[in-house]
Every structure is written in structure tokens, then in C-alpha cells.
Structure 1
Amino acid sequence: MTPSAPSSFAPQSPAFAADPYPVYAELRAAGRAVWFEGSGQWLIPRHADVSALLRDRRLGRTYLHRYSHEEFGRTPPPAAHEPFHTLNDNGLLDLEAPRHTRIRRLVSKAFTPRTVQQLQPYVEELAGDLVGRLVANGGGDLVAELAEPLPVAVIAEMLGVPESDRALLRPWSADICGMYELKPSEETARKAVAASVEFSAYLRELIAERRKEPGEDLISGLIAAYEEDERLSEQEMISTCVLLLNAGHEATVNTTGNGWLALFRNPGQLEELRAAYRSAPEKLSTAVEELMRFDTPLHLFERWVLEDIEVGGVRIPRGSEVALLFGSANHDPAVFEEPERLDLTRAENPHVSLGAGIHYCLGAPLARLELTASFGQLLRQAPALRLAGEPQRKDGFVIRGLESLPVEL
């Protein structure tokens, strides 16, 4: 008998989104592949299967490199959504080999470890300034005043976006990311399309400027990147820049908000972290990994089944879609001892918050740098930081985070 998702798995419900972890335990108990009628997907809740399927080339983020929509038994997206899909479908996250291989190799020539390393002084200074302002004000909204502006400014600095234009980026990104929720509304799609058109037009102008006058920024690096006479097309550059902003800041923003809320709700762990940071700041990186595991910013990652597969005795045919549940995998007791306990000293921590396989997060080193900088500055400058009111959650479950987190000193 095919296992079906319990009624408690309700992605549209604010109560479920506020705390999905008890339901994840039900899903793991129900089976390794669980059918969810609400989205027509196979839910994959266990760590071993999520990890394996992320690396399985019989699945893909797209199917269009092998099949047409009709051949795959799927309906093409509405023509009105085309600007969003042009932008999204030419980015690394939604491509498969050979295009993915070519583009990632070329992007990696510009987005190098040295690029991230060179940003460290800027990131540390910016995090220090933002925290300093929060401290001077006696507190405020941690999301609006630190979690949001830090990664957006860093990505903008990398890309070479002028400071006067940076306020445009976050609203565009938020509207585009709305399409990654399960069954987005037509209003969400309309906003995503408008943002895709505007953001693409802006980047097209910026790329044209950098072609005339190259600089030290990432866009100039992407223009210059080539291998055996292969270069990134303009659309590939635009899609790459948008992906770097969307993926690069969503992980940092939501890990910051979710992480501090977890610390406030686990005061013993917070006090231990403060004490450990005073004597051994290098241990902060271990704590950041645990905060990414404990309440991951990305809860679901979709893949198309390109060839028939079997998971736990359940046959999943070609043309199906699987939903890899990162949040559930990160709380699987088969891998993590006492997974519901926040343990900032957890040494063995193979969480999947940043993905795996060919789609492993390209910006993982940058995300870790930003998180370590912001958490470190708060521990240093605001050692008595505490919750000052009820946090507000964002709508949505796939990309899960806080709208606001009021704090005081």
C-alpha cells in the first residue's frame, strides 16, 4: 500500500509552518516515500534518501534537457509567466548537465575562494557597523536592521551595484522567491514576473556598462570568464546574478532570524555560547552549523524524476516530482543524536541545508562568512541581547524565516 501524507502535513497552514518538526516525525514514520495529494509530489523525509537523491542523476531540477513538456506528461507554464521562467530556467539552480557543468565552471572562475576571502574585511566592518547601530538604539528589529541589510549589501558589493540602487534589490528578490512556494497564487506569479522584467532590465544595463568599463566586481569577472572560446551569454549572466542575490541572501537572512530565535528559546545554550565565544571565538563556526541544521532556512527542494526509481520499496515513475524535505532530514534521529535538542557543540553535523551533489550551494563559503561575522558581532557588542516581543513569521513554508524579531539590550 502506498503511504500517504498525514493531514497534519499542511504547507499552507501558518500553524504548520510555525513548527513543522512534529509532523516531520510522522512523515519519517510513515515511510521513505510518502505521497502528498495536495501538490502531487512524493515527499522524501529521511536523511539517507534526501542525501542520496540529491546526488542521483536519474533526477533533475529540470527535464527540458531531455524531454519536451508533452513528452514528460507536463503542461507548459502559462505564457504570461515567461519572463520569470526565462530568468529562472537559465540559472545554475535549475539547469542540468551539460549546460550546468559549463556555466558552473565559468562562474567558478569569477566566484573564487579568493573573491570571498577578499570580502572578509568588508563583511566584518559592515556587520560591526550594523550591530553598533542596533546597540546605540538599545535594540530594534534584528531582521530589518541586521539580517536583511548585511547579505544584500555584500552581494551588491560583489556585483558592483551602486549604493544608490541597492534598495531595489531586496523587493525584487522577495517577489521572485515567492514562486518557489508550493502552488503559488496568480498574484504571486504576477509580482514575480514584474520583478523578473525589472531586475533583468537593470542588470542588462549594468552589464553593458561593465563591458565598456570593466572593474574589480563579479559582473566584470563573469564577462571576462571564458574557456576554450566559451563565454556566458548575457541571459546566463543575468540569471547567475539574480540567483546569487536570491540564494545568497535568503540563506543568511533566515538563518540569522531562525538562529537567534532558537538561541532565545534555549537560554542555556545561549549562555554557553557567550562563554565559549569569549574564550574561543573559533568555536562559533560549529555553532553556526548547528543553527543551520536546527531550523534550516530551506525546507523543501524539488526534483523531477527523469527515469523510474524506487525508494523504500515504492516505485516512483518517470514524470513524477519528488520533494526532498531538508527540514525533516536535518532532524532524522537515524543520523542526529537527539535531533530536537539544540547542541551548539555538535561535532558530527552532516546537515543538508546547503544541498549536495552538483547543485551544492555555490555561495556556501560566503554564507558562512556572513553568519559568523553577524553572530560574532552580536555576541561581542550585545552580550545581554534578549527577545523584546513576539516574533512575526513570513508567509510560506519552503523558504522559512521571520518577518521580524524584536530585541533589546
Structure 2
Amino acid sequence: MHPFDPVDPHFLADPYPAFAALRALGPVHAHALLGTPVAVSHGACSELLRGRDLGRIWADAEPAADFPAFNLLHRNSLLEREGPAHDRLRVLVAGAFNRGHTARLEPWVRGLAGRLVDELAERIDADGSADLMSTVAARLPVEVIAELLGVPEPERSALRGWSNAIVTMYEPDPGEHRRRAAEQAAADFVDALRGLVAHRRAHPGDDLVTDLVEADVEADELVGTAALLLMAGHEATVNVIGNGVLALLRHPVQWQRLVGDPGLDATAVEELIRYDPPLQLFERTAVVDTTVAGHPVPAGTKIAALLGAAARDPRAFDRPDELDVGRRRNPHLGFGAGVHYCLGAPLARLEVAAALDALRTRLPGMALAAEPSRRPDFVMRGLRELRLAV
């Protein structure tokens, strides 16, 4: 009997005691419900993410004829490649990122965060409470990704829905309705990005798509890269902001520390990513017979890192179940590790810091107005609604 069921609402509300129970039994376990071994210690998860005997080996969603767009996006994604194919594409994407897009966008991101939090505060003044998720957390990252890529309207407004639909396919059992919705969203995204790529070939702009076009990234690879930035950059940041603000409100001393000392922003961002990670599970596949923390992993076998379990490992973190916005030693794995370390990490950090700064400035006395509503998902851990009052 395993300590957790990935669709159990009680587990989803607070998975960390179950993770602690698993860690106490050992660093790696078979898990029948997930259908794969799981690494639960920080050391085992780090070994899994960094090991060159383990890779991302994409297998098309089946039946493949029903998922042409979803499979195209992932087959051409940087995240789903290994070896020379991965290295070539990563160099091109990293080169585009290193042209200074994060620095270019910083004033715009901070201004946008301020305007969204102003709107949140106005709604609280008018109605007594307002939802952080729909007003700020879900809007900020998608606007930033759209600006980074140079996506115009009306596609810009559709990005959030496409991302939300596509990522449900990563859950253990999304169901047929969500599978069909994910494929339709992927098809719409592919069409929109192909149109944008064609436009940027003729009309270059100051955006990442233009940089990738000029770097001669192949068209489907460019669409796959854009999809990865949308899904990883948008979904993770939405959930860091939601999970993080909830954690701060449940630890008011830590929120008041942050209100009183803006110099804690950098460590606070890392701590919020660690304390309640937005991505709870990341799979890799053994390319040869290997082991993870002594657990045999035959070639072709998937094994998953439970990042939430790694984030609370007392062998890696002092007082791991405590929130500490000033935490200095924080080797969390929220942005991955090794060859697949997140290229968008600096931009994600900026977005979370901008949201925290705007909340500190405009709503230093914010408080929970109601019990938050959680999404019924395990892999992408986040909230549906987080109503705030003052």
C-alpha cells in the first residue's frame, strides 16, 4: 500500500506528510498507481535530473493519429531531446535568451505587475475581497510570455486557455474529454505560431521569435520551443505566485519580514519555489541499464523525481517544513538541474519578485478572505482561486 494516491483530494491538499513517510522508507520506490519508480530524497532526485544515463525519450500520445499537434509540439521541444539534437537547439535558444530579453523586459514586467495589483486592490475596495489567481497570477506570466515572443492579439488572449488545456495531459489520468481539449489547444497554438513565424520572417521585431528565426531554427522546432516557453513559463509562474502568496499568508511573520525588508526579495522567491513547488513530478527514461540511489532502472524504464518530496528533505535543507524568506542555503530543484536546467529561470524569478513587490507596496495588510480552492491536479500543483481581503 503506497502512502499516497495522486488523485486523492486529501493528499492533494497537503502532500508533504506522505512524502516524508516515503523518504523515511528509502530514497526510491516503485509506485504502482503512477506506473513508475519515484525518487523522493533530494539526493536521488538530483542524481536523476543530472544523470547522463537518463534522458527525456519522447513517446507520442496514442493513438498518434488523434494527437498530431500535441505530438508535434513535444517531439520538437527542447525538453524532450537528448544528446546532439538537444545541445544544438539549446545553444540556439540560449543565444536568443542571452540577447538581454530579461533585462529589456524588467521595467515593463514591474509596471504590469503594479497595474494588475492595483486592479486587485480596487476590486477589494469595491467588493470586500478579490481573487489573486484570476486578477494577477494567471495574467502576469501569460502577458510576459506573449511580450517575450511578440505574440499579437487575438492570439495573445488565447494563450492562457491553450496552455491550461495542454498541460492537463501531464496528469496521471486526464480523461478523454481533457485529452481531446489538449489536442485542439495544441492545434490552435501550432497554427498561431506558424503564422507568427511567417510574419516575423518578413517583418522582424525585438522579440524571441525574431531571434530564433534569424538563428535559422527550423520551423517546427521554433513552434515547439515557443510552446515549451508558454507551458513551462506560464504554468509554473502562475502556481509559484498562488502557492507562494498562500504560504506567506499562512505564515504572517514571514510576510511582515518581506514587507519590511525588500532586500529579502531574492531569497524569498527561491524559498517560495522550494516550499510548495509548482511542478511536483518530472520524468526521465533510462537510456542504458543504470541505477538511481542504488535502485536498478533498466534501459527503457521511466523513473520520476518527486520534486515536492526533494524540497522538504531534511538532509538537504535546515528546518525544511518551515517557511523562511531569508533562507540562504537553498539548493532547491524547482528549475531542474543538469542539461535541462530551465533557460527561463531569470525571467520567472523576475515575474515572482515583481508580483511580491507590487503586493508589498499596495496591499501590505492583505489577508485570506476565504479558504482557497485548489486545482485537482498533482503534477502541476496550484490553486483555482485565492480570495484576498485587507
Contact preservation (8 Å) 1:39, 1:183: no
* Equivalent position of 1:284 in the other structure: 265
Q: Which range is displaced more, 140-149 or 6-15?
A: 6-15
The separation in 2 between residues aligned to 1:208 and 1:232, in whole angstroms, is: 13
**Mapping of residues 139-158 of structure 1, within 5 Å:** 139-158=129-148
The separation in 1 between residues aligned to 2:58 and 2:359, in whole angstroms, is: 44
Inter-CA distance 187–116: structure 2 relative to 1 (3 Å threshold): same
The separation in 2 between residues aligned to 1:47 and 1:312, in whole angstroms, is: 10
* Equivalent position of 2:93 in the other structure: 107
Contact preservation (8 Å) 1:141, 1:406: yes
Pairwise CA distance, 1:63: 6.0
* Equivalent position of 1:29 in the other structure: 24
1:81 and 2:67 are equivalent in the alignment = yes
**Mapping of residues 311-390 of structure 1, within 5 Å:** 311-390=292-371
**Mapping of residues 199-348 of structure 1, within 5 Å:** 199-225=189-215, 231-276=216-261, 281-348=262-329
The separation in 2 between residues aligned to 1:328 and 1:363, in whole angstroms, is: 23
Number of aligned residue pairs: 386
The separation in 2 between residues aligned to 1:12 and 1:165, in whole angstroms, is: 33
Pairwise CA distance, 1:217: 1.6
The separation in 2 between residues aligned to 1:345 and 1:334, in whole angstroms, is: 19
The aligned amino acid for 2:142 is: V
| Structure 2 unaligned regions, length at least 5 | none
Show structure 1 runs of 4+ deviating over 6 A.
none
Pairwise CA distance, 1:142: 0.2
The match for 1:122 among 99, 102, 108 is 108
**Mapping of residues 22-101 of structure 1, within 5 Å:** 22-62=17-57, 77-101=63-87
Contact preservation (8 Å) 2:48, 2:292: no
Pairwise CA distance, 1:266: 1.0
Contact preservation (8 Å) 1:8, 1:16: no
The separation in 1 between residues aligned to 2:366 and 2:282, in whole angstroms, is: 34
TM-score for the superposition, normalised by structure 2: 0.96
Percent of aligned positions with the same letter in both sequences? 46
SS in 2 for 1:98: helix
1:182 and 2:172 are equivalent in the alignment = yes
Pairwise CA distance, 1:113: 5.8
Contact preservation (8 Å) 1:142, 1:405: yes
Contact preservation (8 Å) 2:20, 2:309: yes
Q: Once the two structures are superposed, what CA deviation does each residue of 1:29-55 show, in whole Å capped at 9, x if it has no partner?
A: 121220011122001000011111211
TM-score for the superposition, normalised by structure 1: 0.91
Pairwise CA distance, 1:8: 2.6
Contact preservation (8 Å) 2:287, 2:300: yes
SS in 1 for 2:331: coil
Pairwise CA distance, 1:81: 2.1
The aligned amino acid for 1:196 is: A
Pairwise CA distance, 1:199: 0.7
Pairwise CA distance, 1:345: 1.2
Contact preservation (8 Å) 1:31, 1:312: no
The separation in 2 between residues aligned to 1:204 and 1:103, in whole angstroms, is: 18
The separation in 1 between residues aligned to 2:51 and 2:207, in whole angstroms, is: 35
The separation in 2 between residues aligned to 1:306 and 1:165, in whole angstroms, is: 38
* Equivalent position of 1:404 in the other structure: 385
Q: Which range is displaced more, 111-120 or 381-390?
A: 111-120
Pairwise CA distance, 1:76: 6.2
The aligned amino acid for 1:192 is: A
Contact preservation (8 Å) 2:69, 2:190: no
The separation in 2 between residues aligned to 1:213 and 1:312, in whole angstroms, is: 52
Question: Over aligned residue pairs, what C-alpha RMSD do you find?
Answer: 1.5
The aligned amino acid for 1:16 is: F
The separation in 1 between residues aligned to 2:285 and 2:84, in whole angstroms, is: 17
* Equivalent position of 1:165 in the other structure: 155
Inter-CA distance 152–255: structure 2 relative to 1 (3 Å threshold): same
Pairwise CA distance, 1:390: 1.4
The separation in 2 between residues aligned to 1:349 and 1:84, in whole angstroms, is: 35
The separation in 1 between residues aligned to 2:150 and 2:294, in whole angstroms, is: 51
The separation in 2 between residues aligned to 1:321 and 1:337, in whole angstroms, is: 31
SS in 2 for 1:41: coil
| Structure 1 unaligned regions, length at least 5 | 1-5, 70-74, 226-230
